[in-house]
């Protein structure tokens, strides 16, 4: 069975009915359970569970301590190109946005790598826009080979590839794949992805599966929160992960909770998710999967990031630039999205220590 | 108390400790001191020789024996690659084989572990394999030349005491090389118990690293391991399940 087929079984789930019949006693019982099923997880995402965030937080903290101890990994994203063939309503890279696009040459990539390496960062996420024409696999592969001389772990966050292409990049030095479904609701997906290769909902949905088959060591999935009811989106993210986990138990899994951030000229109508609900979502996920990584990016503010660290966060980005060439070239102002936490790596490292955690820079080879 | 011999070296302490999961690297140095441990395991994936400040080795006293582990390996090939990397990085020729192909329960893959052990022993490594407590695997590891076997006490993160007691006891009884109970030791009382059972040593990481006071907890484990060892040597009194019967069934033999 593929991911799409697996997730279909939840398509008729009556969220309203389950949420309205959830009681205080249900939530307390679920928090005390050792192993949660999908129904438990859904109830933790219910409005009722909002009254038990402290209880959930205490359990989440214990779960995280058992599996990860007091350590948080730092990483930085590296944007090497922003050419894109998609028209996605929520993204600054959309083909409809007119701005000077950039693609780093290999010398510039090395300069950026050196600049990031100097901050102490050893794990990076390599990003491009979705343009096979301007940034083909051969270009990305060469970039990976250069970056491998500077970094211990390279995760790619690029357009969806075939299994063979993933295997090719793994052989070049990639160990992780980040790919968000953006929105699990198929209709909404269709409505916000107006054109381009990304319009293919199913091809994107099976990408993590293909990556795992190709031999990825870690997979990071997530839904872009703000395009649909967050409770449904996080529920399906959880089921997506559950499916992958059973198929590929050797993979290290991570989940991100990207809240939609504005970009210059954004038109999409967003459904806000409050800080309280985002915390609820993170806690529910931590209780459902005690052993997965939780990734919080600079889409979130300093205040928010500092306070969620003890709730089960295992990795956090720092010193982030979301523009192409942002670390060393400084000629480019167009960001994919506006970041909310501008702290440098050194500042972030200090914040992690202050929260009682050990900042980790290297956790791969 | 008799010395603990492992990989041809003598150690005073029967407590092995780990470097992961501590709130600060400085805490590790203190905990090492209080534990009086002579052997420390570290995940090679965490070792960064390029950075003095971030290099975990800077926080470990020189006289300690390093036991790098292959955390991150999913099969024998990856474990062997990591062992080679470890030696090339100057971490010595001791290696703890950790092959995990299931991230949910984090249970070791005994078959791949055995494969990696056979090859690395031939290459001259001192190999300490981390295994699910299975007697046949343990026997094959002895034949392969492992320096010790390290059965898990409980699945990682379960914190519910020693869940593999009977199976571990069988290994302790039947295996002549050192048996080091690893993983799942959540409290000093767990450590004392497995030492009473006759384990040669224990490895403790999370319980020390994630304690409110790692330094004191390291000391507590040191004492617990010593107490358990002394109890084992002193031979615990038999725990009889039966009261002495007033009408013995075999009394007629004496009349």
Q: What is the largest CA-CA distance in chain A?
A: 61
10-residue averages of pLDDT along chain A (365 residues): 95 95 97 95 98 96 87 95 92 87 95 95 96 97 98 97 98 98 96 95 98 97 96 98 96 95 74 94 96 92 93 92 86 72 93 92 90
* DSSP tag of A309: G
Distance of alpha carbon A136 from alpha carbon B156, whole angstroms: 42
| Minimum CA–CA partner of B109 in chain A | A250
Find all residues with CB under 8 Å of B55, minimum gap 6, and list them.
B47, B48, B49
User: What is the structure's pLDDT at B238?
Assistant: 67
Is B101 within 8 Å of A290 when comparing Cβ atoms?
Answer: no
How close is the nearest chain A Cα to the Cα of B174, in Å? Answer: 31
B96 is catalytic: yes
| Partner-chain contact B72 A217, CB within 8 Å | yes
β-pair partners for B74: none
The pLDDT value given to residue B247: 73
Instruction: pLDDT band for B185, please (50, 70, 90 cuts).
Output: confident
Buried b (16+ CB within 10 A) or exposed e, B142-151: eebebbbbbb
Residue A6 contacts B where some CB pair is shorter than 8 Å: no
| Gap between the Cα atoms of B148 and B67, Å rounded | 12
* A362/B74 Cβ within 8 A: no
CB-nearest partner of A353 from B24, B44, B47: B24
Distance from CA of A79 to the nearest CA of B (A): 25
Q: Do A67 and B156 touch (CB under 8 A)?
A: yes
Determine whether the interchain pair A291/B106 forms a contact, defined as Cβ–Cβ distance below 8 Å: yes
The strand order across the sheet containing B201-204 reads B150-151, B126-131, B94-97, B65-69, B39-43, B15-18, B201-204, B180-182
Most confident of A173-182, B47-56, B147-156, B177-186: A173-182
pLDDT band at B243, cuts 50/70/90? low
Write down the domain spans for chain A: 55-360
Chain pair A-B, CB pairs under 8 angstroms: 78
The count of other CB atoms within 10 Å of the CB of residue A58 is 13
pLDDT digits (tens, 9 = 90+) for B216-241: 999 999 999 999 999 999 987 766 65
The verdict on B170 touching A (C-beta cutoff 8 Å) is: no
pLDDT of amino acid A265: 65
Would you tell me how many other CB atoms lie within 10 Å of the CB of residue B65? 18
* Percentage of chain A exceeding pLDDT 70: 98
Least CB–CB distance from A69: residue in B44, B54, B206: B206
Among candidates B47, B74, B210 on the partner chain, residue whose Cβ is nearest the Cβ of A69 = B210
Contact A364 B45 (CB under 8 A): yes
Distance from the A292 Cα atom to the nearest Cα atom in chain B, whole angstroms = 8
User: Closest chain B residue to A215 measured between Cα atoms?
Assistant: B74
Exposure class string for A9-40: b at 16+ Cβ within 10 A, else e:
eeeebeeeeebeebeeebbeebbeeeebeeeb
Q: Which of residues 211-250 of A touch B (CB under 8 A)?
A: 217, 245, 249-250
Q: How far apart are the first and last CA of chain A?
A: 33
User: Which of the residues B96, B115, B165, B241 is marked catalytic?
Assistant: B96
Q: How many residues are there in chain B? A: 255
Q: Nearest to residue B233, comparing CAs of B187, B199, B190, B183? A: B199
A244 alpha carbon, distance to own chain's centre: 16
pLDDT at B159 over 80: no
Phi, psi of B127 (to 5 degrees): -105, 125
B39, B11 Cβ separation under 8 angstroms: yes
Contact B44 A361 (CB under 8 A): no
Residue B187, domain extent: 4-237
Number of domains in chain B: 1
Give the nearest chain A residue to B158 (CA atoms).
A66
Asked if A68 reaches chain B (Cβ–Cβ under 8 Å), the answer is: yes
pLDDT value of position B26: 81
Strand A123-127 versus strand A71-79 pairing type: parallel
Nearest CA in chain A to B28: A358
Residue in chain B nearest A67 by alpha carbon = B157
Q: Is residue B249 part of a domain?
A: no
> Does the CB of B44 have a partner CB in chain A at under 8 Å?
yes
Residues 136-155 of A with CB under 8 A from B: 152
Chain A contact for B2 (CB, 8 A cutoff)? no
B22 contacts in chain A (CB < 8 Å): 69-71, 358
pLDDT of the residue at A160: 97
What DSSP string runs through A170-197? HHHT--EEE---B---HHHHHHHEEESG
Q: Contact, A292 vs A254, CB < 8 A?
A: yes
Give the pLDDT confidence score for residue B29 in this predicted structure. Answer: 87
Could you tell me the CATH number of the domain that includes residue B187? Answer: 3.20.20.70
Q: What is the pLDDT of residues B77-88, one digit of tens each?
A: 999 999 999 999
Instruction: Give residues with Cβ within 8 angstroms of A194, minimum separation 6.
Output: A87, A88, A89
Q: Which of A68, A353, A362 sits opposite B21 (nearest CB)?
A: A68
What is the third-level CATH fold of A55-360? TIM Barrel (3.20.20)
Q: Indicate yes or no: CB of B22 within 8 angstroms of CB of A120.
A: no
User: Could you tell me which residues come within 8 angstroms of residue A127 by beta carbon, excluding any fewer than 6 positions away?
Assistant: A77, A78, A79, A80, A156, A157, A158, A336
Neighbouring C-beta atoms of residue B95, cutoff 10 Å:
31
CB contact under 8 A, A362 and B23: no
**Average model confidence (pLDDT) across chain B:** 90
The reply to whether B242 falls in a domain is no
Q: Hey, is the C-beta of B100 within 8 angstroms of any chain A C-beta?
A: yes
Say what the pLDDT of residue A332 is.
Answer: 61
Query: Tens of pLDDT along A99-122?
Result: 899 999 999 999 999 999 999 999
Provide the b/e sequence for A248-266 (b: ≥16 CB within 10 Å).
Answer: bbbbbbbbbbbbbbebeeb
Would you say residue B248 lies in a domain? no
Contact A332, A323 (CB under 8 A): yes
Per-residue model confidence (pLDDT) at position B24: 81
Contacts of B183 in chain A (CB under 8 A): none
């Amino acid at each position: 069975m593929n991911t799409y087929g697996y997730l279909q079984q939840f398509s008729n789930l009556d969220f309203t009915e389950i949420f309205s019949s959830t009681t205080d006693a249900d939530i307390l019982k679920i928090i005390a359970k050792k192993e949660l099923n999908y129904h438990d997880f859904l109830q933790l995402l219910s409005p009722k569970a909002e009254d038990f965030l402290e209880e959930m937080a205490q359990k989440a903290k214990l779960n995280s301590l058992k599996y990860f101890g007091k350590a948080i990994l730092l990483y930085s994203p590296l944007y090497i190109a922003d050419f894109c063939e998609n028209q996605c309503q929520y993204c600054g890279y959309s083909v409809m946005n007119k701005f000077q696009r950039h693609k780093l040459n290999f010398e510039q990539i090395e300069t950026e790598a050196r600049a990031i390496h100097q901050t102490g960062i050893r794990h990076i996420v390599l990003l491009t826009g979705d343009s096979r024409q301007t940034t083909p696999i051969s270009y990305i592969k060469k970039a990976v080979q250069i970056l491998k001389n500077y970094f211990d772990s390279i995760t790619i966050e690029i357009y969806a590839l075939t299994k063979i292409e993933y295997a090719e990049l793994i052989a070049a030095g990639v160990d992780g794949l980040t790919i968000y479904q953006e929105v699990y609701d198929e209709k909404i997906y269709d409505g916000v992805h107006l054109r381009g290769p990304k319009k293919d909902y199913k091809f994107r949905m099976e990408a993590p599966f293909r990556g795992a088959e190709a031999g990825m060591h870690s997979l990071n999935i997530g839904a872009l929160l703000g395009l649909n009811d967050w409770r449904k989106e996080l529920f399906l993210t959880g089921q997506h992960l559950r499916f992958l986990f059973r198929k590929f138990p050797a993979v290290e899994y991570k989940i991100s909770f990207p809240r939609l951030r504005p970009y210059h000229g954004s038109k999409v109508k967003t459904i806000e998710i409050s800080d309280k609900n985002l915390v609820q979502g993170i806690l529910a996920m931590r209780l459902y999967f005690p052993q997965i990584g939780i990734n919080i990016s600079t889409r979130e503010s300093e205040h928010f990031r500092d306070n969620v660290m003890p709730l089960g966060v295992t990795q956090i980005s720092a010193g982030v630039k979301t523009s192409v060439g942002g670390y060393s070239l400084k000629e480019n102002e167009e960001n994919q999205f506006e970041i909310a936490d501008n702290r440098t790596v050194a500042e972030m490292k200090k914040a992690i220590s202050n929260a009682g955690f050990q900042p980790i820079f290297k956790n791969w080879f | 108390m008799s010395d603990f011999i492992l990989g041809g070296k003598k150690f005073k302490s029967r407590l092995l400790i780990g470097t992961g999961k501590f709130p600060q690297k400085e805490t590790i140095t203190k905990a090492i001191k209080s534990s009086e441990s002579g052997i420390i395991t570290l995940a090679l994936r965490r070792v960064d020789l390029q950075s003095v400040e971030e290099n975990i080795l800077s926080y470990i006293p020189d006289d300690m024996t390093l036991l790098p582990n292959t955390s991150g390996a999913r099969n024998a090939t990856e474990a062997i690659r990591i062992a080679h990397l470890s030696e090339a990085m100057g971490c010595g020729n001791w290696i703890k084989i950790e092959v995990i192909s299931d991230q949910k329960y984090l249970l070791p893959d005994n078959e791949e572990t055995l494969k990696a052990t056979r090859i690395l022993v031939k290459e001259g490594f001192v190999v300490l394999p981390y295994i699910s407590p299975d007697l046949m695997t343990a026997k094959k590891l002895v034949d392969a030349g492992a320096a010790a076997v390290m059965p898990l006490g409980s699945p990682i993160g379960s914190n519910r005491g020693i869940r593999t007691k009977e199976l571990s006891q069988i290994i302790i009884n039947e295996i002549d090389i050192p048996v080091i109970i690893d993983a799942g030791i959540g409290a000093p009382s767990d450590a004392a118990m497995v030492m009473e059972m006759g384990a040669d040593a224990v490895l403790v990481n999370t319980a020390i690293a994630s304690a409110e006071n790692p330094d004191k907890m390291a000391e507590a484990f040191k004492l617990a391991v010593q107490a358990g060892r002394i109890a084992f040597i002193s031979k615990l009194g038999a725990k009889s399940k039966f009261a002495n019967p007033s009408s013995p069934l075999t009394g007629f033999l004496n009349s």
